[in-house]
Amino acid sequence: MNMEKYIKKLETLKLSDMYENDFLLTWEKSDDEIQAVFTVADALRQLRTNNVSARIFDSGLAVSLFRDNSTRTRFSFSSAANLLGLAVQDLDEGKSQIAHGETVRETANMVSFMADVIGIRDDMYIGKGNTYMREVAGAVQQGYEDGVLEQRPTLVNLQCDIDHPTQSMADMLHIIHRFGGAENLRGKKIAMSWAYSPSYGKPLSVPQGVIGLMTRFGMDVCLAHPEGYEVMGDTMEVAAKNAAKSGGTFTKTNNMAEAFKDADLVYPKSWASYAAMEKRTVLYGNGDDAGIKALEKELLAQNANHKDWACTEDMMKLTKGGDALYLHCLPADITGVSCGEGEVDASVFNKYREPLYKQAGFKPYIIAAMMFLAKCKDPAKMLKVLADRGHARWLE
Amino acid sequence: MNMEKYIKKLETLKLSDMYENDFLLTWEKSDDEIQAVFTVADALRQLRTNNVSARIFDSGLAVSLFRDNSTRTRFSFSSAANLLGLAVQDLDEGKSQIAHGETVRETANMVSFMADVIGIRDDMYIGKGNTYMREVAGAVQQGYEDGVLEQRPTLVNLQCDIDHPTQSMADMLHIIHRFGGAENLRGKKIAMSWAYSPSYGKPLSVPQGVIGLMTRFGMDVCLAHPEGYEVMGDTMEVAAKNAAKSGGTFTKTNNMAEAFKDADLVYPKSWASYAAMEKRTVLYGNGDDAGIKALEKELLAQNANHKDWACTEDMMKLTKGGDALYLHCLPADITGVSCGEGEVDASVFNKYREPLYKQAGFKPYIIAAMMFLAKCKDPAKMLKVLADRGHARWLE
Amino acid sequence: MNMEKYIKKLETLKLSDMYENDFLLTWEKSDDEIQAVFTVADALRQLRTNNVSARIFDSGLAVSLFRDNSTRTRFSFSSAANLLGLAVQDLDEGKSQIAHGETVRETANMVSFMADVIGIRDDMYIGKGNTYMREVAGAVQQGYEDGVLEQRPTLVNLQCDIDHPTQSMADMLHIIHRFGGAENLRGKKIAMSWAYSPSYGKPLSVPQGVIGLMTRFGMDVCLAHPEGYEVMGDTMEVAAKNAAKSGGTFTKTNNMAEAFKDADLVYPKSWASYAAMEKRTVLYGNGDDAGIKALEKELLAQNANHKDWACTEDMMKLTKGGDALYLHCLPADITGVSCGEGEVDASVFNKYREPLYKQAGFKPYIIAAMMFLAKCKDPAKMLKVLADRGHARWLE
């Protein structure tokens, strides 16, 4: 097993700000830090593939708080925590009512006496999820400084209203491996496109996370959606700035075919519009159930106007060589399989099933890398320690 | 501590097919494989009793999916996973909606990136549970071959519509210990009998599992139930074939007293009839709630015609010497205790409480043995490694 | 790290009765045993602060059964179990129906085959919680003696109808640290006072636990509440006896101001009256939902007559130097924050937030100490073993 390249790579990166820090938005992280996450993720996978334990904790808790249903992110978080030696303790809202303000501060401290990591998914309401995470982060930071907590638990954003960093980073690492290195992505075109789904209200954090991250690699990132499905303006600005800096481009279109034209990668996926989600957040705040139901109906009708936004075989033919890499965060709404009409044709999905599954397989390692970099003062040295220790994960 | 006999025993058995394989039906396993499970279960218990850690995993996940309520199987699975060093992560359907087809394939892979074991209980619908398990097994096998999964998680059937192997194996190991060895069971009579319960729809997998396994040891296995409470024909065939091969017998009667007559062991337990369960599965498939309620009422009325099918003191007097070993998978419906009229008299139950609890106590070790044999290339050698390592489970 | 003082202290204490024993009521424990819990709690914290692993288990289960919602106790229990190397397995009643009698005995054994610890919270009904815990303790003791269980799991009372020992012990250790040692508490006055809350039916176990424990340290413990909010008579007797023996006092008043006058510590907290809770238990037993609703209404109305029982700034001015240490088990009903009118003014709460959080932070260590003392034959020696081993909890 050759860990040398990963260790050497890490040694060239400035990572001091990651130690004891959170991972909330990719665009708050430097290029070095983003690269470090990819490097550590690959290194941890190599350790595990070689049956070398990556446990840096003999005991400790990873607290998970999911405010939205989740299978893959839940298992990715559990896997990552377990890989590093932490036990997961769910903070189940059904069991333990959480609100805002004083309660957030208090609960954050109460669950953190022996917590090394806190993972939060809170993606339902615009302006809420990321704000909540920062409240929690502030609370545990204060608790740590006051001597209430003996360690400062690290926050990992498992999806908020703004970004979905563990998803976009997993997507990106998949792409990097697929194209044989980040250096080969320069000038490649990716279409981050809206697609029709018979459900409504899917979070915006995936497209926002993708344009906010993938514009950093010199790619031509094209965001496509029907009128009325705009994403948050702030994330558009981030994408534009990133593209300018990285030597790539960031464009927007209301034409799916235009986005797919000559694309090397396509990411067709449904989401709700920012405006609609804001409206819903207000209705929710007012406890206006009738209003929410009416909005839901209206949004489904709006969606239904755009059934032609689907990743069909014909649409795929427009892409570079007709075989762009198809990406999705899963589960996809597959026409004739999981729904009548949906985001993608079954034949397209089937062709790409294996890479799609592999794409998802990066997430546990990405999360583990985020934890690792926040918990190891000298990550390069720690990788060396683990490799040299050579403790078997599994006595096969 | 003398592990020698277990190790020597294992060395004589052909176990190569167990490695990286699943445990779904006892009758798919060779006699050597069945013996190996008993041997490893005993060995793991001896290790634990001697405070020697049996951890073969430094980290790793055991995924549990319970589609039916469970206390004892849930805790047995947790205990087994923990004994070997795995952390349990529940795949809660309430939390994470699972269906069939594409979704099964996808979910199976999504939860398995770092999963070493998957335990499934799915016993509610005829033709569904075991089929589902095979879908999952196929999916993770494909995922492993495609390089999606770095390891191939092992499936353990924690109860399906056809078999309940962890139960019947635990029952059997209990009997073996009770009678001082499998060789002493030849010619012993066991009555696997239906018994009245005021509830309805109990799975058939216990009686099916029992007749499918216990006919392999040269015993006289007598299946008794009122007319209309037939078990699956396939499992009857398995039992008949086993009996012929093992030199035992497999008989059927609609007379409880006949079954109890001179029995060395009795296993009186309620179950639903196969025909009724098939009907229910169809109604469920059609979403026919009214039909299900009507069927439920009908089945309870049918049950009530057979209140005389109870393990009373008088019935026990018919058994060999009046003191056959009473078996049950628990919880039993005890007359005057957990219900008005039920499967067993309180006085009979009370007399056998201690052996009943011991019977249940084999299950964690049986499950651990199934995991162990699927995860260790050379199980005999691994037992030796663990014994020699002598790592304390508990610094007392 | 100097563990010497803790080890020396433990060596002077008679602890033989703690081994393999439960922790159900503080007043069943000798002064030596109470001191041992404080000493081990401090020692375990020092180990953890110095990044030394306190794992005494390589594998093993800690079973948790919460019959009432809980965040902080749940996390404290998880943290304690994890610190010592145990995995938590919830016995969720929703998932696994538990009743009394035969079922308790059976379930207690079924979940304990590999359980080292069982933590139970059952505080809702007078006469039930503690009784239930003793049923469980009796069942596992019997199971152990019968050879059903290979180890005797230890019970920890995580709150019952009578006592809340992990809370009162954490409160007490906080006070000891705050005042620089138990010897400095002699003659200090603590007001354990009822306070108004807009909710109803809060358990009595906190005030009962506090007067039952704090009277053992030579303090002047004053219990204050409006007429009609009496606590269990038995716990009053315990408090009186303790005070007489320790050279402190135990007084009762129906005047909050009188209790606060010159107090060094105040613990203003809402609870339901014993009589009301008894009534509710009977109604619940009879399945009288209408009666329960009527009682609830009546109790809320009764509460509302005592809104002046609040820990206001003015009330605090009455205390010694105007700055008694404010205590609460959290969450508090804070006026204008978590409710309109409640137990404490926001300004008072804010002033004491940091010590309040620290108070809560003792609970995981108190629980771990209770487990440790029940699981280590020679706790002093075990602390030395852990310190000498010096195994890092976290490879930082």
pLDDT digits (tens, 9 = 90+) for B177-201: 999 999 999 999 999 999 999 987 8
Helix B72-84 vs helix B165-178: angle between axes, to the nearest 10 degrees?
Answer: 80
Looking at residue A100, its pLDDT comes to: 57
**Cα Rg, chain B, nearest whole Å:** 21
Looking at residue A273, its pLDDT comes to: 84
By the CB < 8 Å criterion, does A97 face chain C?
Answer: yes
Chain C residues in contact with A376 by the CB 8 A cut-off are 395-396
Q: Got the DSSP string for B264-308? A: SEEEEE----HHHHHHHHHHHHTT-HHHHHHHHHHHHHHHHTTTT
- Nearest Cβ partner of A82 from B61, B102, B149? B61
Two structure tokens written together for C340: 């309109």
- Nearest Cβ partner of B60 from A71, A391, A393? A393
Confidence of residue B93 (pLDDT cuts 50, 70, 90): low
Torsion of CA A236, A241, A242, A245, to 10 degrees: 160
Q: Got the DSSP string for B128-142? A: THHHHHHHHHHHHHH
Looking at residue A287, its pLDDT comes to: 86
Q: Is the peptide bond before B331 cis (omega within 30 degrees of 0)?
A: yes
Give the ipTM.
0.95
CA distance B128 to C138: 41
Minimal-distance CA residue of chain A relative to B148: A358
- Parallel/antiparallel/unpaired status of strands A87-90 and C334-335: unpaired
Looking at residue B95, its pLDDT comes to: 44
Chain A residues in contact with C338 by the CB 8 A cut-off are 102-103
- Chosen for mutation from A18, A19, A110, A388 (greatest number of chain C CBs closer than 10 Å) is A110
Burial A258-292 (b: 16+ CB within 10 A, else e): bbbbebbbbbbbbbbbbebbebbbebbeeeeeeeb
Contact A146 C85 (CB under 8 A): no
By the CB < 8 Å criterion, does A87 face chain C?
Answer: yes
Q: To the nearest whole angstrom, how far is the Cα of B149 from the nearest Cα of chain A?
A: 8
Judged against a pLDDT cut of 60, whether residue C368 lies above it is answered with: yes
Minimal-distance CA residue of chain B relative to C20: B396
Q: Divide the 396 residues of chain A into consecutive groups of 10 and give the mean pLDDT of each group.
A: 90 97 98 98 97 98 90 95 97 58 90 97 88 96 97 97 98 98 97 94 94 98 96 97 98 98 98 87 87 90 95 98 97 94 97 98 98 97 96 92
Q: Is the peptide bond before C331 cis (omega within 30 degrees of 0)?
A: yes
**How distant is the alpha carbon of residue B58 from its chain centre?**
28
Residue owning tokens 């139960």: B167
- Parallel/antiparallel/unpaired status of strands B325-326 and B265-269: parallel
Minimal-distance CA residue of chain A relative to B91: A71
Minimal-distance CA residue of chain B relative to A49: B150
User: Residues 6 or more apart from A175 whose CB is under 8 A from it?
Assistant: A185, A214, A265, A325, A327
By the CB < 8 Å criterion, does C2 face chain A?
Answer: no
Confidence of residue B100 (pLDDT cuts 50, 70, 90): low
By the CB < 8 Å criterion, does A82 face chain B?
Answer: yes
Two structure tokens written together for A224: 């496509």
**How distant is the alpha carbon of residue C154 from its chain centre?**
16
Contact B337 C56 (CB under 8 A): no
Q: Residue A88: helix, strand or coil by DSSP?
A: strand
Chain A residues in contact with C66 by the CB 8 A cut-off are 95
* End-to-end Cα separation, chain B, in angstroms: 18
Q: To the nearest whole angstrom, how far is the Cα of B201 from the nearest Cα of chain A?
A: 30
Which residues between 144 and 173 in chain C have a beta carbon less than 8 angstroms from any beta carbon of chain A? none
By the CB < 8 Å criterion, does C178 face chain A?
Answer: no
CA distance C24 to C17: 14
The better pLDDT of the pair C280, C158 is held by C158
**How distant is the alpha carbon of residue B301 from its chain centre?**
29
By the CB < 8 Å criterion, does B1 face chain C?
Answer: no
**Contact pairs from chain B to chain C, CB under 8 Å:** 102
Contact A143 C357 (CB under 8 A): yes
Q: Residue C150: helix, strand or coil by DSSP?
A: coil
Looking at residue B1, its pLDDT comes to: 59
> What value does the mean pLDDT take over residues C5-31?
97
Burial B346-364 (b: 16+ CB within 10 A, else e): eebbeebbebbbbbbbbbb
Q: Got the DSSP string for A183-239? A: GGGTT-EEEEEE---SS----SHHHHHHHHHHGGGT-EEEEE--TT----HHHHHHH
Confidence of residue C70 (pLDDT cuts 50, 70, 90): confident
- Tell me if C143 sits within 8 A of C182, measured CB to CB: no
CA distance C60 to C233: 39
Judged against a pLDDT cut of 50, whether residue B96 lies above it is answered with: no
- Chosen for mutation from C19, C78, C109, C371 (greatest number of chain B CBs closer than 10 Å) is C109
The H-or-E segment that residue C66 falls in is strand C61-66
Q: Got the DSSP string for B55-68? A: --BSS-EEEEEESS
By the CB < 8 Å criterion, does B87 face chain C?
Answer: yes
By the CB < 8 Å criterion, does B59 face chain A?
Answer: yes
**How distant is the alpha carbon of residue A393 from its chain centre?**
27
Chain A residues in contact with B82 by the CB 8 A cut-off are none
Contact B143 A357 (CB under 8 A): yes
Q: Got the DSSP string for A96-163? A: H---STHHHHHHHHHT-TTEEEEEEE--SSTTTHHHHHHHHHHHHHHHHHTTS-SS-PEEEES--SS-
Angstrom distances, CA of residue B8 to CA of B5, B43, B384, C251: 5, 11, 10, 72
- Tell me if B221 sits within 8 A of B250, measured CB to CB: yes
Two structure tokens written together for A133: 């995470």
- Nearest Cβ partner of A71 from B107, B115, B143? B107
Q: What is the pTM assigned to this prediction?
A: 0.97
**How distant is the alpha carbon of residue C322 from its chain centre?**
28
Length of chain B: 396
CA distance B274 to B230: 6
pLDDT digits (tens, 9 = 90+) for B165-175: 999 999 999 99
Chain B residues in contact with A85 by the CB 8 A cut-off are 59
Looking at residue A276, its pLDDT comes to: 86
Looking at residue B124, its pLDDT comes to: 81
By the CB < 8 Å criterion, does C69 face chain B?
Answer: no
Chain B residues in contact with C58 by the CB 8 A cut-off are 53, 55, 391-394
- What are φ and ψ of residue B342, in 5° steps? -150, -155
Which has the closest alpha carbon to B142: B117, B112, B119?
Answer: B112
Chain C residues in contact with A95 by the CB 8 A cut-off are 66, 69-71, 74
Task: Name residue A99's amino acid.
Answer: A
> What value does the mean pLDDT take over residues C129-148?
96
Contact B72 C147 (CB under 8 A): no
Contact C147 B358 (CB under 8 A): yes
Which has the closest alpha carbon to C37: C250, C255, C216?
Answer: C216
Residue owning tokens 């009455």: C318
> What value does the mean pLDDT take over residues C153-182?
97
Confidence of residue C97 (pLDDT cuts 50, 70, 90): very low
CA distance B116 to B376: 12
Which residues between 334 and 393 in chain B have a beta carbon less than 8 angstroms from any beta carbon of chain A? 375-377, 382, 385
Two structure tokens written together for B51: 């405070």
Q: Got the DSSP string for B341-374? A: S-SEEHHHHHHTHHHHHHHHHTHHHHHHHHHHHH
CA distance A372 to A366: 10
Minimal-distance CA residue of chain B relative to A392: B58
User: Residues 6 or more apart from A206 whose CB is under 8 A from it?
Assistant: A164, A167, A168, A269, A271, A329
Judged against a pLDDT cut of 80, whether residue C63 lies above it is answered with: yes
- Tell me if B197 sits within 8 A of B65, measured CB to CB: no
CA distance B153 to B137: 8
> What value does the mean pLDDT take over residues B379-396?
95
**Cα Rg, chain C, nearest whole Å:** 21
The better pLDDT of the pair B202, B56 is held by B56
- Chosen for mutation from C146, C148, C373, C391 (greatest number of chain B CBs closer than 10 Å) is C148
- Nearest Cβ partner of A60 from C354, C361, C394? C394
Length of chain A: 396
Chain C residues in contact with B338 by the CB 8 A cut-off are 102-103
Long-range contacts of B225-230 (CB under 8 A, 24+ apart): B225/B193, B225/B194, B225/B254, B225/B271, B225/B309, B226/B194, B226/B254, B226/B305, B226/B306, B226/B309, B227/B254, B228/B273, B228/B275, B228/B302, B229/B194, B229/B271, B229/B272, B229/B273, B230/B273, B230/B274, B230/B275
Residue owning tokens 């109470």: C34
Angstrom distances, CA of residue B85 to CA of A394, B21, B116, B392: 9, 19, 11, 13
Average pLDDT, chain B: 94
Judged against a pLDDT cut of 50, whether residue C96 lies above it is answered with: no
The H-or-E segment that residue C299 falls in is helix C289-304
- What are φ and ψ of residue B223, in 5° steps? -95, 125
